[in-house]
């Protein structure tokens, strides 16, 4: 190393130590808060899993297929849902699939519930979006394993940290696409609404959101796919689901188990993608 590089390295900024001190402060003073939050997530998610697993698998498959038909009015989609879920049952991965489904739906719901209002706020306030932009870039580019450690420290092992890291990873998509949809609303529409005396709230609910709905629904689709891509990462920190057999297959070089679990994830992804695109299809 040349002298200049050695001199620069000798004045190392102690970011790691500062981070450790910060998380030590959180765990020392707010452990009760993070433990309570983790317990709430655990009770709710595991309760949903137990409720779904209490039903006969075939009955639950038929209910999901009926829901897909009611939303889409497509018997082809319903048949595809039945075939895909029966394949998963055939591979002996039904319980893991239900656990993954609950985690993905919960993470996507939380991400949309937080992301859509933030996206609307940013679309109406340019300063807010300028502040959010680097934060969203950081959330999307920071390697997952970097924030896996502090999440583990705060929430421990289990489904709760799996939900948290999934939300962190998936939430930028609905924020960005909601902002894009709202800011892309044609100005003549807004001007027409304002000329008829519409308030800002009426413009939002009756003009902006209906016009931006396809883009917002695209954010939902991306959010679901990003959540599903975190299945294996969530399994590394104790979350149940299809990620666990994938991790076991990696550890033991078990090719059959890896293929079975991988195909189950693909099937679930296709089903969720087709169902989540319903709102977009109706807008076409």
Q: pLDDT class for 1, splitting at 50, 70, 90?
A: low
Cα diameter, the chain: 72
List, in order, residues 6 or more apart from 114 with CB less than 8 Å away. Answer: 167, 171
pLDDT at 278: 54
Helix boundaries (H) for 125-186: 126-141, 144-155, 159-170, 172-183
Portion of the chain with pLDDT greater than 90, in percent? 33
Cα 162 versus chain centre, distance: 10
pLDDT at 121: 94
Q: Please determine, for residue 72, whether its predicted confidence score (pLDDT) is greater than 70.
A: yes
Structure tokens at 146: 């970097």
The DSSP symbol for 142 reads S
Q: Is 262 exposed, middle or buried (0-12, 13-18, 19+ CB in 10 A)?
A: middle
List, in order, residues 6 or more apart from 97 with CB less than 8 Å away. Answer: 85, 88, 241, 242, 264, 268
pLDDT at 176: 93
pLDDT at 103: 92
Torsion angle of the four alpha carbons 251, 169, 91, 43, in this order, in degrees rounded to the nearest 10: 100
Q: Please determine, for residue 178, whether its predicted confidence score (pLDDT) is greater than 90.
A: yes
- How large is the average pLDDT for residues 143-147? 78
Cα distances (Å, whole numbers) of residue 220 to 99, 109, 115, 211: 20, 9, 10, 16
Portion of the chain with pLDDT greater than 70, in percent? 97
Q: Please determine, for residue 246, whether its predicted confidence score (pLDDT) is greater than 50.
A: yes
pLDDT at 284: 44
Choice among 87-91, 109-113, 137-141, 207-211 with the minimum mean pLDDT: 137-141
Cβ(176)–Cβ(223) below 8 Å: no
**Residue 52: its H or E element:** helix 15-53
- How large is the average pLDDT for residues 259-276? 88
Round to whole Å and give the CA distance between 140 and 173.
9
List, in order, residues 6 or more apart from 260 with CB less than 8 Å away. Answer: 91, 92, 93, 245
Mean pLDDT of the chain: 87
pLDDT at 16: 81
List, in order, residues 6 or more apart from 83 with CB less than 8 Å away. Answer: none
List, in order, residues 6 or more apart from 13 with CB less than 8 Å away. Answer: none
């Amino acid at each position: 190393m040349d002298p200049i590089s050695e001199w620069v390295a000798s004045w190392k900024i102690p970011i790691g130590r500062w981070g450790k001190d910060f998380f030590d402060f959180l765990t020392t003073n707010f452990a009760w808060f993070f433990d309570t939050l983790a317990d709430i997530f655990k009770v709710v998610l595991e309760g949903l899993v137990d409720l779904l697993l209490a039903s006969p698998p075939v009955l639950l498959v038929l209910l999901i297929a009926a829901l897909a038909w009611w939303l889409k009015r497509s018997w082809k989609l319903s048949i595809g849902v039945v075939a895909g879920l029966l394949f998963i049952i055939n591979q002996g991965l039904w319980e893991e699939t239900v656990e993954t489904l609950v985690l993905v739906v919960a993470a996507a719901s939380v991400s949309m519930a937080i992301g859509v209002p933030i996206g609307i706020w940013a679309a109406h306030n340019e300063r807010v979006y300028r502040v959010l932009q680097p934060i969203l870039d950081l959330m999307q580019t920071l390697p997952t394993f970097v924030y896996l450690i502090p999440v583990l420290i705060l929430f421990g092992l289990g489904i709760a940290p799996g939900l948290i890291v999934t939300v962190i990873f998936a939430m930028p998509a609905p924020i960005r696409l909601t902002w894009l949809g709202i800011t892309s609303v044609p100005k003549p529409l807004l001007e027409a609404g304002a000329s008829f005396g519409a308030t800002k709230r009426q413009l939002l609910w009756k003009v902006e959101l209906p016009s931006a709905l396809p883009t917002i629904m695209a954010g939902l689709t991306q959010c679901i796919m990003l959540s599903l891509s975190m299945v294996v990462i969530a399994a590394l920190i104790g979350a149940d689901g299809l990620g666990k057999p994938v991790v076991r297959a990696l550890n033991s070089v078990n090719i059959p188990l890896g293929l079975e679990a991988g195909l189950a994830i693909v099937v679930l992804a296709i089903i969720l993608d087709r169902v989540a695109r319903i709102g977009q299809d109706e807008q076409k």
